[in-house]
């Protein structure tokens, strides 16, 4: 029996339970970063809200892409994940917020994706699967027992990535 574990705004969740499905519901401008080690069968997900922490001293580093990715990797390494054999997923970053005075998006989604790509590039990592941008929210699932990931874009069916 599958156990859905919600990964909320600014949260990281890690699991090695084969019945667990990590889920980031409704990723709009937020980004979901997922890692999965097929040998160790451990995975984790970050649900980052903003591209970077201005002070670097925020009490919620998972809220930010630039501090959340290294924190996710650190926690996963503590559970035995080996980064260079792991699958990496980058999901979300839609531009769905419109300002009140014109039709220009706030562009938070684009900035979140750019920040994630920059952090991953510095770490010499490339996503194995990426589904970003656009104007619709997504739900991102990571199935720990199967080692697969899915997305469901608003108004569409769930699909493997």
> Confidence class of residue 33 from pLDDT cuts 50, 70 and 90?
very high
The secondary structure of 43-108 as a DSSP string is EEEEEE-BS--SSS--S-GGGBHHHHHHHHHHHHHHTT--GGGSEEEEEE-----B-SSSS-B--H
CA 100 from chain centre, in angstroms, equals 28
For the chain, percent of residues with pLDDT exceeding 70 = 91
φ and ψ of 109, to 5 deg: -60, -45
From the number of C-beta atoms within 10 Å of its C-beta (0-12, 13-18, 19+), residue 29 rates as: buried
Domains and CATH numbers, the chain: 3-160 (3.30.1330.200)
Residue 105 scores a pLDDT above 60: no
What is the pLDDT of the chain when averaged over all its residues? 92
* C-alpha to C-alpha distance for 122 and 154, rounded to whole angstroms: 32
Residue 134 scores a pLDDT above 80: yes
* C-alpha to C-alpha distance for 131 and 45, rounded to whole angstroms: 15
Residue 91 is among the residues annotated as catalytic for this protein: no
Residue 104 scores a pLDDT above 80: no
Q: Which of 14, 30, 91, 151 is catalytic?
A: 30
Q: Are 1 and 51 in contact (CB under 8 A)?
A: no
Tokens for 122? 């510095």
Read off the pLDDT of each residue in 115-139 and give the average, rounded to a whole number.
Answer: 96
Read off the pLDDT of each residue in 54-77 and give the average, rounded to a whole number.
Answer: 88
* Model pLDDT, residue 53: 81
* Model pLDDT, residue 107: 86
* Model pLDDT, residue 94: 95
* 87-96 tens-digit pLDDT: 999 999 999 7
This prediction's pTM:
0.92
Which three-class secondary structure state does DSSP give residue 138? Answer: strand
Residue 58 scores a pLDDT above 70: no
* Model pLDDT, residue 103: 54
Tokens for 34? 């997922």
> Confidence class of residue 155 from pLDDT cuts 50, 70 and 90?
confident
* Model pLDDT, residue 54: 73
Q: Are 105 and 95 in contact (CB under 8 A)?
A: yes
Distances (CA, A) of 108 to 4, 88, 130, 156: 28, 22, 17, 23
């Amino acid at each position: 029996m599958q156990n859905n574990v919600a990964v909320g705004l600014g949260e990281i969740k890690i699991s090695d339970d084969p019945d667990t499905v990590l889920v980031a519901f409704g990723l709009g401008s937020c980004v979901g970063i997922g890692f999965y080690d097929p040998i160790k069968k451990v995975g984790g997900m970050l649900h980052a809200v903003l591209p970077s922490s201005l002070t670097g001293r925020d009490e919620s580093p998972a809220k930010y892409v630039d501090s959340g990715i290294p924190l996710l990797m650190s926690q996963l390494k503590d559970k035995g994940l080996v980064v260079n054999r792991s699958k990496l997923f980058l999901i979300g970053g839609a531009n769905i917020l419109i300002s009140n005075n014109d039709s220009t998006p706030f562009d938070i989604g684009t900035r979140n994706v750019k920040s994630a790509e920059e952090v991953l590039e510095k770490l010499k990592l490339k996503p194995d699967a990426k589904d970003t941008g656009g104007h619709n929210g997504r739900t991102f699932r990571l199935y720990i027992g199967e080692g697969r990931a899915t997305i469901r874009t608003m108004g569409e069916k769930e699909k493997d990535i």
